[in-house]
Structure 1
Amino acid sequence: MKTGALIIASGDYGEGQQDNEGIPVFLPMYPLDGTTVIKGEIAKLRKAKISPILVLTGCHSETLQLHLSHNNVVIIEDEDYQRHSFTDALALGLLQAKEQMDRVLVLPVEYPAFADKTLEQLLDCEHSAVPAYEEQPGWPRSIVMDADLDEQQNAEDLWTQLNTEHLFTDDPGITYSLLEENGVDHISQYLKDRWNATTLHFRNKLVISREEDFFGPGVYDLLKYIDETGSIQAAAAKMNMSYSKGWKIINRAEKELGFRFLNRCNGGKNGGSSTITPEGRVFMERYHAMVEDMRRITQNFFDVYFGEFQ
């Protein structure tokens, strides 16, 4: 059975969508997990040897086509996407897919968090199926093509066919949508957790010392949170650290380095306000830069020594 995929990315994803900072974004091209939403989905489908991959575009179609120009996908443009419902888009996409595959995995672009194991389950199933996690249906969904499918077939009939037999899985990611409240944060954490659970990786940290350690990830994070909140008390609370301990580790770092990290302004219900000094900011920037260089260089060595165990 020849199995392909249909990614439905034709909705008004570029109209009214905003990131966590309120900046307008085009959802299919939103940065996620080291790539973009839609390129990540395509990569997962390719890994499962699913081909061809059709992408139904609409909103910002030309931009999306350019974005995917080197991804070897088949573009279908829905010129009336603003008037079409999801089932209309589904009908349009399946009509194009009928000539190229026997079975299609349908994926709305806003559901990027499915696992490789879920794809394997769907591919092992010879009939149309809907993956479900704890009774909640998710995506992608598998539909065996109807040889009699034509332009007159009612979109609601297609939707009924797509909502057929449930295929139960332990993958909650199939239910996560980027369009939900805090959806980006939710999915990003899910992908990070899955990567940690399935990928061999390493941890390193940079600690600066004289006779004793005095500056490391904890001090850096505390200063970063102080920079964000303007408050030692708020920053310490964010790290589940006592106010007095926060002061202690900052004072120790300042004593060892011979300059202040903070400008203090006493008073107020939160114990006053604090800002990072110019010297402190330079030190923090250099610390962060060295951590990033260490991670990059060490990753290269890790791949050499342990890549075959992945």
Structure 2
Amino acid sequence: MAFGALIPAAGLSSRMGRFKPLLPLGGSTFLDQLLHTMRAAGVGPVVIVIGWHAEEIEAHLAGQPEVFLVHNPDYARTQMFDSIRQGLPLLQGRCSRFLVAPADVPLPLPDTLRRLLEHPAPFARPIYGGRRGHPAALDAHLIEPLLAAPPSLSLKTALARAGVLPADLPVEDEAVLLDTDTPEDYGLLLSYLARREHTARPLWPQLRLQLWGEQPLFDEEMVRFLELVEACGSMQHACKGMHISYTTAWRRIAAAERTLGFALLERESGGAQGGGSRLTEEGRTLLHRCSAMQRELQACCDRIFEKHFSDYTLPVQD
């Protein structure tokens, strides 16, 4: 039976500041690189669990053979294992063994994937330089116990509760460790790819938008925070996704509201469904304007950068 794969790509990319699965990489994107490598390793079908920026991924991957998309509607409130559980049913009966490959670890080698899939252990993971990395390879018979596990667990903990411990596979593939969470990580990933392919390292622009009143009023962090509140209906979940405290978030919201002269958020009291927060109509309109401006600025920035720096690279590293 075929080898399959599951790619969790529903997360918020909160520390990166840009949506990681579709970030440029080697002339394509993170997802494209990962899918290309999987095909080279003989992997298919591939299930991708989407959430944040779901419509962009759907449009980007339209027509891809043996790629199945599953939407996690509660992506802003849940952890990666919940997304994994939502994608597992589509692999049942379609493969004998499968990879769990996070979208932000996009450059493992095809040979690494093949060796993981051919490993005799029910649960295998790569190890490079004494450090454990991604992706993991699992036998298909583990799908049932994973679906029965609480979604609040991690994949490793859920497998341990089922009595399945990981087997480490030593590999000569540094990319299994290159988890891209921040702009700094992204820069390291680009440099690594240039070294691996013996090409010059690229430059890339990092655009930062900030709107002022009497003081800094709106920046990318504020826009992203309000987008998360809009998506999940909760300031607490938005704070968790942004890795900021509730007090810090309210302080920034209150300062912006004083300058703007209207409320950005309104809180809903508890009741049977619990409390939450949502954007006011004025807040939603302002957010949509800022988001549209961000997209247009990024597109302009990319065009201007291409005009002035398309032939400019950093030296090849040994």
- TM-score of the pair, normalised by structure 1: 0.57
The answer for unaligned runs of 5 or more in structure 1 is 19-24, 204-284, 293-310
SS of 2:39's partner is helix
Structure 1 equivalent of residue 71 of structure 2: 77
Deviation at 1:147, TM superposition (A): 6.0
Give how far 1:37 is off.
0.8
Alignment partner of 1:67 out of 51, 60, 70: 60
Q: Return the offset for 1:12.
A: 0.9
The one-letter amino acid paired with 1:79 is: P
Q: Residue 126 of structure 2: which of 114, 131, 144 is its match?
A: 131
- The answer to whether the aligner puts 1:98 opposite 2:92 as a matched pair is yes
1:46 pairs with one of 28, 31, 39: 39
- Identify the residue that residue 168 of structure 1 maps to in structure 2: 170
In structure 2, stretches of 5+ residues that fail to align are: 201-305, 313-318
Q: 1:99 to 1:154 in 2, by over 3 A?
A: farther
* CA–CA distance in structure 2, aligned partners of residues 42 and 74 of structure 1: 12
Say if 2:153 is the partner of 1:153.
no
Corresponding residue SS for 1:126: coil
Q: Within the alignment, does 1:89 sit opposite 2:83 as a pair?
A: yes
What TM-score, normalized to structure 2? 0.56
Whether the aligned pair in 2 keeps the contact of 1:87 and 1:159 (CA below 8 Å) is no
Kept after mapping to 2: 8 A contact 1:30/1:37 = yes
Q: Residues 149 and 185 (structure 1 numbering): CA distance in 2 closer, same or farther, change over 3 Å?
A: same
Indicate the residue corresponding to 2:102 in structure 1: 108
Partner of 1:241: none
> SS at the partner of 1:40?
helix
Distance 1:154 1:37, change over 3 A: same
Aligned equivalent of 2:22: 29
Q: Provide, for residues 21-64 of structure 1, a one-character-per-residue CA deviation record: whole Å limited to 9, x for no partner.
A: xxxx2211111111011111111101112000111101111111
Residue type of the alignment partner of 2:109: A
Q: Identify the residue that residue 179 of structure 1 maps to in structure 2.
A: 181
CA distance in 2, matches of 1:287, 1:81: 39
Amino acid paired to 2:167: E
> Contact 2:49–2:69 at 8 Å: present in 1 too?
yes
What's the secondary structure of 1:193's corresponding residue?
Answer: helix
Tell me how far apart the structure 1 counterparts of residues 77 and 154 of structure 2 sit (CA, whole Å): 19
Please identify, of 120-129 and 46-55, the stretch whose mean Cα deviation from structure 2 is larger: 120-129
Could you report, residue by residue, the CA deviation over 1:247-278 in whole angstroms, capped at 9, with x for unpaired residues? xxxxxxxxxxxxxxxxxxxxxxxxxxxxxxxx
Within a 5 Å distance, the mapping from 1:1-310 to structure 2 comes to 1-13=1-13, 15=14, 17-18=16-17, 25-72=18-65, 73-127=67-121, 128-146=123-141, 149=144, 151-155=147-151, 156=153, 158-160=155-157, 161=159, 164-180=166-182, 182-196=184-198
Following TM superposition, by how much is the alpha carbon of 1:148 offset from its aligned partner in structure 2, in angstroms?
A: 6.7
1:288–1:91 Cα change, 3 Å: closer
Q: What's the secondary structure of 2:113's corresponding residue?
A: helix
Greater RCO structure (CA 8 Å; 6+ sep): 2
For 1:182, what is the secondary structure of its paired residue?
Answer: helix
The alignment of Structure 1 onto Structure 2 pairs a total of residues equal to 198
CA separation of 1:171/1:92 partners in 2, compared to 1, >3 Å: closer, same or farther?
same
Is the 8 Å Cα contact of residues 91 and 158 (structure 1) preserved in structure 2? Answer: no
Percent identity over the alignment is: 25
CA distance in 2, matches of 1:7, 1:148: 15
Superposition deviation, residue 11 in structure 1: 0.7
What residue is the counterpart of 1:215 in the other structure?
A: none
| Cα separation, partners in 2 of 1:163 and 1:75, compared to 1, 3 Å | farther
Distance 2:49 2:27 in 1: 23
Distance 1:287 1:11 in 2: 34
SS at 1:66 equivalent? helix
Q: CA RMSD in A?
A: 2.9
Report the AA paired with residue 8 of structure 2. Answer: I
Question: Could you tell me how far apart the structure 2 residues matched to 1:125 and 1:50 are?
Answer: 15
